Chain A
C-alpha cells in the first residue's frame, strides 16, 4: 500500500462524500418540485433560475434558526442522535461501486472506496445501526410524541430488515459472492438481476421505502398524529441533519437498488461501442447516476401518490406478506439453482 494509493482513496472518498451531500441537497429541491408538479403547481422557483438556489437558502435558514433544546432533554444523547443518523447515512456509500475503473499509466484505479468481500453484509450491518440515531434522538428529547415516533421507527425498521435481507440473499445465492463489485460485474450488459428476481426486487424496494421511513411507510414522523415524530423537539441544523439524512438514505437506497438489481454501471450494448476502457467507465458512471436519479424520482413519485399505511397494516404487510414471500423466493431460487447444477 503506497502513499499514492492512500491519496487516491482519500480523494475518492471525499468526492463521493461531496457528491452524496450535493445530491441530497438537490433532492430536497427536486422533492418540492415533484410535489408541486404532481399537484399542478410549480414548486419553488424564486431563488435563482427555476429555484436553483433554494436548497442553499434553506440550509442557511436552518443555520440561523434558534438552537432550542428542551430543558429535560439528555444533552449528550440529544446531540448524538442527529450526528449518528447523519454519519450512518453516509457510511454505506463506501462499498458501492460508483463505476468500473480507470487505467492510468498501467495502474488500475477502481471507483469504489472499499471493495470488501463482505460488502452486502456491511450494508446490512450499517442499516441495522441506522435505527439507533432515530431511537436515541426520540428518547433523548423526552417528549411522548418523539418517543412514540422513535419506537415506531425501531419496530418498523427491524421488521422490514428481515424481509429485505431475505430478498438480497437470493441475489447472493445466484451470484455466489458478497462483494458488491462482483455482483455488478456479473450483470454485464443487460444481464440484470431484476430479470431473474422480479419478486425479490419488489420485496426489496418495498422494504427500502420502509427502511428510509419514506411514505407510504413514514409512520415514525407522520405529521398528522405525531407532529413530526422523533424529531419533534429538534430545531435548527440538528433538525436539518435528520431531514438531510433522510435524503441521503434515499440516494444510497437508490444506489443499492441500481447496484443489486439494475446492473450498476452496466448498460446495454456496452461491448459493441468499441470505446476504450476509461471512456466506458465514464459512460458507465453516468448511466449509474441516471439509474439512481430515476429511483430517487420514483421515491418521490410514490410519496406523492400513496397515502400512509396504518400501523397494523404496516406490520401485517411486513410479517405476513413480505417475509413469507421472501422465504418462498429463496426456496424457488435454491430449487432452480439445484436443477441447473444437475443438468
Chain B
C-alpha cells in the first residue's frame, strides 16, 4: 500500500473517480429521471424563500451597522470636535471634514471649542466597518440600523451634516450599540486602543 493512500484529503470530501460500467438501470436514465422529478416537485410545494421587498423587509439586527448618525449631547449640542480620528481610522477613507472654532454665541450649538463645520461621509466608499465609531473619543459618531437608500447620482451619496447630525427633536436611539459594557470597554485603560 503506498503512502498517499492512507492520507485522506484535507477537506475529507474527495472521491476516487470510478469508471465502472453503468448498470442497465443507469443506462436507460429513467430511474434517475424519476428521482429528479420527485425532488423538483417536492420543492414546488416547499415554503418559498422570497422576501417580497417593499411590503416585507428582511429583519435586521438592532446592532446592524448601517447609516451613520452624528450625536448631540443631552443639551442638544453637537458632540463632534473635529479631531479627525474617525477619518484616520477609516480604512476606506470615506470621511472628510473641515474644522472651525466655536464663537462666543455658539456655546449652545457645539459642545467643544472646536467643531466640524463640514463633515462628509461618502456612502459609496464606506464599507460600514464601524471603525469610525470605535475611534471616536467623544461618542459622537455611531452607526445605526438604517440602510442607505439607493440613488441616481454618485454625488448624492456624499452625506453632509444635514443628513448625518441627528435632529434635536428626533433623537436617534443608539443604546443597542452603546451598551454600558461597550462604554466600559472603550474607556478601559488596559486595552491597546487607549494606550
Q: Which residues of A contact B (CB under 8 A)?
A: 34, 36-42, 45, 301-302, 304-306
Is A41 touching B50 in the complex (CB atoms < 8 A)?
yes
Is B49 touching A40 in the complex (CB atoms < 8 A)?
yes
Is A306 touching B43 in the complex (CB atoms < 8 A)?
no
For A38, A42, A45, which residue has the most chain B Cβ atoms within 10 angstroms? A38
A37 to B41, CA, bound (A): 9
Tell me whether B13 is interfacial, beta carbon within 8 Å: no
Q: Closest B-chain residue to A313, C-beta based?
A: B29
Q: Closest B-chain residue to A300, C-beta based?
A: B40
A31 to B47, CA, bound (A): 19
Partner of B36, one of A40, A41, A305: A305
A-B contact pairs, 23 of them (CB 8 A): A34-B44, A37-B44, A38-B41, A40-B43, A40-B46, A40-B47, A40-B48, A40-B49, A40-B50, A41-B48, A41-B49, A41-B50, A42-B48, A45-B52, A301-B37, A301-B41, A302-B37, A304-B40, A305-B33, A305-B36, A305-B37, A305-B39, A306-B33
Q: Which residues of B contact A (CB under 8 A)?
A: 33, 36-37, 39-41, 43-44, 46-50, 52
Is A38 touching B33 in the complex (CB atoms < 8 A)?
no
A45 to B50, CA, bound (A): 11
Interface of A is mostly: loop
Residues in chain B near residue A302, CB distance under 8 A: 37
Q: Closest A-chain residue to B36, C-beta based?
A: A305
Contacts A41-B50, A42-B50 known; list 11 others, CB within 8 Å. Answer: A37-B48, A38-B40, A40-B43, A40-B47, A40-B49, A40-B50, A42-B48, A301-B41, A305-B33, A305-B40, A306-B36
A42 to B47, CA, bound (A): 10
A39 to B49, CA, bound (A): 9
Q: Closest A-chain residue to B47, C-beta based?
A: A40
Residues in chain B near residue A45, CB distance under 8 A: 52
B45 smallest CB distance to A (angstroms): 8
B40 smallest CB distance to A (angstroms): 4
8 interchain residue pairs of minimum CB distance: A305-B36, A42-B50, A305-B40, A38-B40, A37-B44, A40-B49, A38-B43, A41-B50
A71 to B166, CA, bound (A): 60
A37 to B44, CA, bound (A): 5
Interface of B is mostly: helix
A178 smallest CB distance to B (angstroms): 31
The A/B interface has a contact count, at CB < 8 Å, of 35
A301 to B37, CA, bound (A): 7
Is A42 touching B36 in the complex (CB atoms < 8 A)?
no
A99 to B44, CA, bound (A): 32
A214 smallest CB distance to B (angstroms): 14
A294 smallest CB distance to B (angstroms): 13
Q: Closest B-chain residue to A202, C-beta based?
A: B30
Q: Closest A-chain residue to B38, C-beta based?
A: A305
Residues in chain B near residue A37, CB distance under 8 A: 43-44, 48
Q: Closest A-chain residue to B49, C-beta based?
A: A40
Residues in chain A near residue B37, CB distance under 8 A: 301-302, 305
Is B40 touching A301 in the complex (CB atoms < 8 A)?
yes
Residues in chain B near residue A38, CB distance under 8 A: 40-41, 43-44
A36 to B44, CA, bound (A): 8
Residues in chain B near residue A304, CB distance under 8 A: 40
A205 smallest CB distance to B (angstroms): 12
B23 smallest CB distance to A (angstroms): 16
B139 smallest CB distance to A (angstroms): 44
A192 smallest CB distance to B (angstroms): 21
B3 smallest CB distance to A (angstroms): 38
A306 to B36, CA, bound (A): 7
Residues in chain B near residue A42, CB distance under 8 A: 48, 50, 52
Residues in chain B near residue A301, CB distance under 8 A: 37, 40-41
A41 to B50, CA, bound (A): 6
Q: Closest B-chain residue to A46, C-beta based?
A: B52
A42 to B43, CA, bound (A): 12
A304 to B36, CA, bound (A): 10
Q: Closest A-chain residue to B46, C-beta based?
A: A40
B39 smallest CB distance to A (angstroms): 8
Residues in chain A near residue B36, CB distance under 8 A: 305-306
Q: Closest A-chain residue to B44, C-beta based?
A: A37
Q: Closest B-chain residue to A309, C-beta based?
A: B29
B36 smallest CB distance to A (angstroms): 4
Q: Closest A-chain residue to B34, C-beta based?
A: A305
Residues in chain A near residue B39, CB distance under 8 A: 305
Residues in chain A near residue B47, CB distance under 8 A: 40
Residues in chain B near residue A39, CB distance under 8 A: 43
For A36, A40, A45, A304, which residue has the most chain B Cβ atoms within 10 angstroms? A40
Q: Closest B-chain residue to A304, C-beta based?
A: B40
